[in-house]
Amino acid sequence: MKESYVYARIVSVVLLISFPITLLLFPAVAANSQSANLAVTPSKSILSPALIKKPIQFKGHGFQPDEIVVVEMILPTGIKIQGVESGENVGLAYATTDNQGCFEASMQATATLNWFFQVKWRSNLTPDFKKAKPIPPGKYDIIATGISSGSIAKAVLEILPPPARK
């Protein structure tokens, strides 16, 4: 009985000593505690071809310097996107942070066409909007994840219904 008590005390002391050492040796663990932020511009948008000329933009800060950040959309239950398995996030953009841990990224036209409009592509690689199946209006959670630090920032993008036809 005394041996198990001594053993438990030794394990407790080792764990108490090793935790601060882990934070010193692996700063990514400590970086997760910092608060990263993400802004989506515009935060509300109607799906229209104007998004190709003026794409949705993402700005974030609070990540590690010179870190790759991936911006993804979390698909709500029941929303299907061609080429994306159920439960997977949809990659929208990526960027490398500056020396202050800040980034800016815009959705590329192909990402907008594939994920938001879900266009079909003709053999000459032009989008066929007549066969498009746009994602439904609603609020979509957007996350930015720092690849090295694991820091995550969240924002919301609201897809608005198109205006009523007159």
Same domain assignment for residues 5 and 84: no
Give the whole-angstrom CA distance, residue 24 versus residue 34: 15
Query: What pLDDT tens digit does each residue of the chain (166 aa) get?
Result: 555 434 444 434 344 444 444 434 444 444 444 589 999 999 999 998 889 999 999 999 999 999 999 999 999 988 888 888 888 999 999 999 999 999 999 999 999 999 999 999 999 998 888 888 999 999 999 999 999 999 999 999 999 987 777 6
Same domain assignment for residues 36 and 115: yes
DSSP class of 59 = E
Instruction: Tell me, yes or no, whether 47 lies in a domain.
Output: yes
Instruction: Tell me, yes or no, whether 166 lies in a domain.
Output: no
| Alpha-carbon torsion (153, 58, 147, 82), positive or negative | positive
pTM for this structure? Answer: 0.76
Same domain assignment for residues 82 and 150: yes
Same domain assignment for residues 23 and 89: no
- The distance of Cα 41 from the centroid of its chain, to the nearest Å, equals 14
Same domain assignment for residues 96 and 139: yes
Same domain assignment for residues 50 and 118: yes
Q: If you write DSSP's letter for every residue of 16-55 in order, what string do you get?
A: HHHHHHHHHH-HHHHHTTSPPEEEEESSEEE--THHHHS-
Same domain assignment for residues 8 and 22: yes
Number of H helices, E strands in the chain: 4, 10
Buried b (16+ CB within 10 A) or exposed e, 91-116: ebbbbebeeebbbebbbeeebbbbbb
Number of domains in the chain: 2
Position 14, amino acid? V
pLDDT per position as a tens digit, 76-92: 988 888 888 888 999 99
Same domain assignment for residues 5 and 42: no
Same domain assignment for residues 73 and 12: no
Enclosing domain of residue 78:
32-160
Report the pLDDT value the prediction gives residue 25, as an integer from 0 to 100.
42
Segment (H or E) for 106 = strand 103-106
